[in-house]
Amino acid sequence: MRQEVTDVNKTPLHAWHVEQQARMVDFAGWDMPIQYTSIGEEHQAVRQRAGLFDIAHMGRLFFSGPDAARLLDSLLTNDVSKLKDGQIRYALVCNKHGGVLDDVLVYRFADEYLLVVNASNRQKIVEWIDGHRSGFEADVTDATTERFMMALQGPASIDVLSPHVDLDLAGMKYYTAVQTPVAGAEAIVSRTGYTGEDGFEVIVPNAAAVWVWGELIASGKEVNLKPCGLGCRDTLRLEAAMPLYGHELDETIDPLTAGLGFAVKLDAGEFIGRDALLGLREQPTGKRRVGLELDGRRIAREGATLHIGETEIGHVTSGTFSPTLEKAIAMAYVSADHAAEGTGVEIDIRGKRVAAKIVPLPFYRR
Annotated binding-site members for substrate:
201
Q: Taking the CB of residue 20, how many other CB atoms lie within 10 A of it?
A: 13
Contact call for residues 16 and 210 (beta carbons, < 8 A): yes
3-class state of residue 318 by DSSP: strand
Contact call for residues 362 and 345 (beta carbons, < 8 A): no
Contact call for residues 176 and 190 (beta carbons, < 8 A): yes
Annotated binding-site members:
201
Backbone angles phi, psi at 286, to 5 degrees: 85, 10
CA 45 to mean position of chain CA atoms: 19
Q: Taking the CB of residue 224, how many other CB atoms lie within 10 A of it?
A: 11
Contact call for residues 57 and 46 (beta carbons, < 8 A): no
Side-chain half-sphere exposure of 109, counting CA atoms within 13 A: 17
Q: At what angle do helices 122-131 and 68-75 cross, to 10 degrees?
A: 110
155 cis-preceded (ω within 30 degrees of 0): no
Contacts 24+ apart (CB under 8 A), 103-106: 103/243, 103/245, 103/249, 103/260, 103/263, 104/76, 105/192, 106/72, 106/76, 106/78, 106/80
Contact call for residues 257 and 273 (beta carbons, < 8 A): no
